[in-house]
Each structure stands twice: as C-alpha cells, then as structure tokens.
C-alpha cells in the first residue's frame, strides 16, 4: 500500500514556532483572527498575517482555501500558507483546508501551526488523502524531488489530537488501499494477486478465506464461473470477516471484482478499454472498508465478500445466447457477455446469505454505463429494498459530502429482463439500464434481508482533481460498460 503522509502532534510552543523553517501553514478564522501561537508567528513576521487578514484576497477566499507567502520577512520558513478556516468549521471545510495544505507541501519540512484549530482530525484526513500519488510504475525524473512525507502539527493538546486522529488515520489507510488497487494494472493485479493482497488483512485480525475454482464450482456458482471461463486467470471468491461486536448477525459488503473487462465476446471498443482495469472498483472499496474497520478496532460484525474474475474473449469464453444456472438455482440467459458484473454478484450475494445470514447487505459495483449517463461523475446510484437502510445510508453519505442519489427499483421493470428460454435475461437493453441491472440483482437477495445496491461506475475513478485527488477515465469510457 502507498505509505500515507505521517502526521505527528506536538505541543504548540510559541518560541519554537517562531523559529520554524521549511514550510509553515497557519489558520485564520473568517474574520482574520489568530490564536496565540499564530500571533507569535505574526509578530516575528512583522504583522504579515494581520495584513493578509485585512486584504481583499483573503476576503475572497472560500473556507479551506489559502494564500501562499514566499520567503516571509523575519521568519526562517521558505514559505508561509495562510488558510481561512471558520471557528465553527464543518468537517468538509476542515478536509478542504487539509487538502490545501497538501498542495502546499514540497520537499522541505512541513509544519502546521494548528493551536486550537477546529476539526483537527478532519484537517489531517484531508491532507493525507490529497497527498496521495500513485507512482509505483513511474521512473523518477532527474529533476523530480519526492515531496515531504511527514507533517508536524503544533497543537494545544497533542494527546487529544493524536487520539482523535487515530480512527481517521485508519480510514485514510483504507482509502489509500482502495486507490492502489484501482490504479494497479491488470497484468499485476490478477485474480490471484488480488486474493493474496486481501490475505494480508489477517495481520489486522481479519479472518480471510479464499475459495479457489474447485470450491466455487462445488458451491454451484456457475454464473460467476461463466464470466471467468475465457480467462487464463482463475476465479476466486474471498470472504473477509471482522468480529468486533457481540453475537449479532453481521453486515455484509459485497464487491464486484472484475480485474479486467474486455466485454468478452460482446467486446468493447478498443478506445478507452485500458481504463477497464478499474472494473474491480467495488471489490477495492470492500477491501479498503475492511482494512479501515479492522485498523480502528470497530465494535461491529462485518463480512466483506468479493468475486474476482477476468472477462476475456477466449475460444472457451461464454457466448451470447448461453444459459447458465446460478448458485440460487435460477437459470440466466446471457444476452450480452459485457453484462458480466451482475452474474458475478448474483452468486456472491446468494453465497453471502447462505453462509453468513447477514442482517443487511450492501453491494458495490462499477456496473452500468447507464448510471453514468443518468448521474454523471458526481453521484453514485443507490437502489434499495428497505427504506430505513436507504435513509441511513443517504444520511451518512450526505454528512461526508459523498454524492449518492436514490433511483427507482420498481418491479414493473422486470418485463425488460424476461427471457424466452430461461428464468431471466442478464440485460434488458439500453432503456433504464441501471434500473434493470438492479432488478436483476434483486432476484438474488431474499425479501427479508435489507439490501442496497450501489452503482459506482461514474464515481470509482475521476479525471479531475478533487479534495481526494482521484482520477477517472475520459468521458464516455464508462458509458460503454454494461456490467
């Protein structure tokens, strides 16, 4: 996993702060006021921060944004960053401030004069996420200098700050794990290599079980096996269990793990196909969540399951028109081999219920281009069988300012996936493609089990910079994926 920036917390000593070298970030509230530590810094800089606070440039800043001041007079620092942060900052504003500081980071030592800054753990989270850069396969350029990989926060109460940061640091590690998995190319992150990386979660106390092809076949997961039969990379199903609560039934997280998706016999256009390494994004998220849960010792029972396959157009590959029988027992007519993710999920969803009897299920998948057309790259599509669970999830997403939008799941859409020769067809064509995909999955979740399906095709990887610095395919690439 890419190593996160290391955050440490020390007591804010006015004398030491005044002599800081390297790069220094400091906070001003919306009215330009400074806390005692920042005032000491300002005194050494001959009132520079007070002048910034009264400037039009500072007034135009949004919360979390900052102004960079190079080689400030009276200070040893090579640069000073003045960040606007309201006294009652929201978590999102604090994360944006952290991201701004990450953008200010260079090879010189970085210090953050935080004092009594609000939402300190969220500031550190934003900094850590924005500092992420995937460079595993890039040869360093001659003039490239690695950015500073540590930051020191000068705070009023180092112990309290470190305690608040610990659970958020676990979340940051989980996010970075997911990003690494999504960024890895398919010749490196094979199904076998993916399963091996998940086995490393045992070091955090997660129970990990890997089902090989023989075990998958014995369970009757013929829908999943049909997807993988054209690939030299054998299928795997990985179950990760964290027992941190009482004896209650676990929450199940299920992820689509297509490590590369050519579309199979229903092959995708060549342009943009290289981005289909991200088609395992759902499984990557499940892996990151399980890491975060275990690293912070969550008092909860959670099981994460992923189906790992590769969809290739070999002579043994599944054909349009083939009929396969799922683990549940339903027969499926394969209309389009590029609608493969739902076949994988169908069997893993059923296995989750048979094996773990979960109290609820959330599945995640880069499933349909139709969801990208509907919601773009701003929102994940949310389909839910249970209003209570849906409302809880949407409230949590809103609190974190993660885009999520609930879409219909009406039974009337089932007519589109009726099959002439089998119990169900694996696609209903272009109209309401994300809805019919969700209705297909609905067949494989028992009525009494609350369930959410998250179509993350549009948000798993973004091309533009965001507060978390994600990367996405060119416009239209995901739209050609039918999942």
Active site residues: 268, 342
Measured between alpha carbons, how far is 349 from 340 in angstroms, rounded to an integer?
Answer: 14
Long-range interactions of 193-197: CB distance < 8 A, separation 24+: 194/236, 194/238, 194/257, 194/259, 194/280, 194/283, 194/306, 194/308, 195/236, 195/238, 195/308, 197/287
Q: Per DSSP, what are the bridge partners of residue 117?
A: none
Instruction: Give me the phi and psi of 260, to 5 degrees please.
Output: -155, 135
State the helix-helix crossing angle for 191-199 and 281-295, rounded to 10 degrees: 10
Measured between alpha carbons, how far is 354 from 362 in angstroms, rounded to an integer?
Answer: 16
Q: How far is CA 225 from the centre of its chain?
A: 27
Measured between alpha carbons, how far is 383 from 366 in angstroms, rounded to an integer?
Answer: 14
DSSP string, 56-125: HHHHHPPTT-EEEEES-TT-S-SEEEEEE--TT--HHHHHHHHHHHHHH--SS-EEEEEET-SSHHHHHH
How do beta strands 301-311 and 251-261 pair?
Answer: parallel
Tokens of 99: 């991201």
| Residue with the two structure tokens 């490239």 | 144
Tokens of 268: 């995708």
Measured between alpha carbons, how far is 146 from 135 in angstroms, rounded to an integer?
Answer: 11
Measured between alpha carbons, how far is 435 from 411 in angstroms, rounded to an integer?
Answer: 10
- Nearest of 430, 454, 458 to residue 441 by alpha carbon: 454
Q: Reduce the DSSP state of residue 352 to 3 states and report it.
A: helix
Q: Reduce the DSSP state of residue 9 to 3 states and report it.
A: strand
C-beta separation of 279 from 366 below 8 A: yes
**Sheet with strand 323-325: strands edge to edge:** 323-325, 331-333, 424-425
């Amino acid at each position: 996993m890419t190593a996160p920036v290391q955050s440490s917390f020390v007591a804010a000593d006015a004398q030491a702060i005044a002599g800081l070298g390297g790069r220094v970030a400091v906070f001003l509230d919306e009215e330009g006021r400074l806390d005692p530590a920042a005032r000491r810094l300002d005194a050494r800089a001959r009132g520079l921060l007070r002048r910034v606070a009264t400037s039009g440039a500072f007034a135009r800043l949004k919360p979390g944004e900052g102004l960079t001041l190079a080689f400030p007079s009276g200070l040893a620092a090579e640069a000073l960053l003045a960040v606007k942060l309201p006294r009652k900052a929201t978590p999102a504003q604090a994360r944006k401030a952290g991201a701004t500081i990450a953008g200010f980071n260079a090879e010189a030592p970085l210090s953050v004069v935080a004092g009594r800054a609000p939402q300190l753990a969220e500031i550190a989270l934003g900094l850590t996420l924005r500092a992420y850069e995937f460079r595993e396969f890039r040869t360093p350029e001659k003039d490239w200098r690695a950015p500073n990989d540590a930051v020191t926060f000068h705070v009023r109460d180092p112990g309290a700050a470190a305690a608040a940061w610990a659970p958020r640091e676990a979340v940051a590690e989980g996010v970075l794990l997911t990003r690494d998995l999504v960024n890895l190319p398919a010749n490196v992150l094979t199904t076998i290599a993916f399963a091996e990386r998940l086995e490393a979660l045992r070091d955090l106390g997660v129970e990990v079980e890997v089902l090989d092809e023989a075990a998958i076949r014995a369970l009757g997961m013929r829908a999943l096996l049909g997807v993988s039969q054209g690939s030299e990379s054998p299928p795997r199903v990985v179950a990760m269990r964290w027992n941190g609560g009482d004896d209650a039934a676990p929450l199940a997280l299920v992820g689509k793990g297509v490590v590369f998706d050519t579309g199979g016999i229903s092959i995708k256009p060549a342009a943009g196909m290289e981005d289909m390494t991200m088609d395992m994004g759902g499984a990557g998220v499940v892996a990151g969540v399980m890491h975060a849960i275990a690293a912070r010792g969550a008092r909860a029972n959670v099981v994460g399951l992923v189906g790992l396959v590769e969809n290739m157009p070999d002579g043994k590959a599944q054909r349009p028109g083939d009929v396969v029988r799922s683990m549940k027992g339903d027969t499926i007519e394969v209309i389009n081999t590029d609608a493969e993710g739902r076949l994988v999920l169908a069997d893993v969803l059923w296995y989750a219920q048979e094996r773990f009897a979960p109290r609820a299920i959330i599945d995640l998948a880069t499933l349909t281009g139709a969801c990208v057309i509907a919601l773009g790259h701003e929102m994940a599509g949310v389909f839910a069988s249970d209003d209570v669970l849906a409302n809880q999830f949407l409230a949590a997403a809103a609190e974190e300012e993660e885009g999520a939008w609930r879409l219909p799941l009406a039974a009337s859409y089932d007519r589109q996936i009726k099959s002439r020769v089998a119990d169900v067809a694996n696609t209903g064509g272009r109209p309401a493609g994300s809805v019919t995909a969700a209705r297909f999955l609905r067949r494989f979740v028992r009525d009494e089990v609350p369930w959410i399906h998250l179509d993350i095709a549009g948000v798993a990887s973004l091309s533009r910079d965001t507060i978390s610095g994600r990367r996405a395919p060119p416009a239209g690439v995901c739209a050609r994926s039918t999942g």
